[in-house]
């Protein structure tokens, strides 16, 4: 397979993944990925998903490369005034003392219950999710806004 064909195949797969993800979220109030950013080694998806019967704020890293992806930290940046402040996730969601090693073609995730998520927001409504790799590079989601009355997440 030539390089050009391989690039086209990767683009087609990425577009298909986005379409399937969007269609899965339709008709489910407040459920689905809101921010999907694509990086050289992985896709970073953020949203509210139903996990084990309850709604959870989720940050998912899908490894799209041929090698392992190492995530050393996942956290929230919540807007407070004009600045974004880092909010470390609880160890039950993501233990930043250990690295998350994601093999090729697999996913890794951090989940936060809606109750915990609301506590982290502390009355603020604008946020970003961040995944940091083992080289210290931070990969940020798009800026999102949450409606505190119904906990519906959307792009700002």
40 part of a folded domain: yes
Nearest-10 Cα torsion for 133, 85, 107, 20: -130
Which residues have C-beta within 8 Å of that of residue 34, sequence separation ≥ 6?
46, 47, 48, 142, 144, 153, 154, 155
118 part of a folded domain: yes
21 part of a folded domain: no
Q: How far is CA 127 from CA 47, 52, 76, 111, in A?
A: 12, 25, 7, 16
pLDDT along the chain (156 residues), means of 10: 76 68 49 80 88 86 91 92 90 85 92 85 87 91 87 85
User: What is the span of the domain harbouring residue 92?
Assistant: 30-155
Torsion 73-41-10-156 (CA) sign: positive
CATH value at residue 94 = 2.60.40
Domains in the chain: how many in total?
1
13 part of a folded domain: no
Give pLDDT, residue 10: 73
């Amino acid at each position: 397979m030539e390089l050009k064909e391989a690039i086209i195949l990767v683009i087609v797969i990425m577009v298909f993944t986005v379409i399937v993800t969007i269609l899965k979220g339709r008709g489910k109030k407040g459920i689905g990925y809101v921010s999907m950013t694509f990086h050289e080694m992985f896709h970073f998806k953020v949203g509210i998903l139903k996990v084990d019967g309850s709604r959870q704020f989720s940050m998912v890293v899908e490894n799209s490369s041929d090698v392992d992806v190492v995530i050393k930290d996942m956290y929230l940046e919540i807007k407070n005034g004009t600045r974004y402040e880092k909010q470390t996730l609880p160890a039950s969601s993501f233990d930043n003392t250990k690295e998350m090693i994601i093999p090729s073609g697999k996913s890794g995730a951090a989940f936060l219950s809606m109750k915990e998520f609301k506590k982290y927001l502390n009355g603020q409504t604008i946020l970003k999710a961040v995944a940091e790799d083992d080289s210290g590079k931070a990969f940020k989601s798009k800026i999102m806004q949450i409606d505190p009355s119904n906990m519906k997440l959307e792009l700002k």
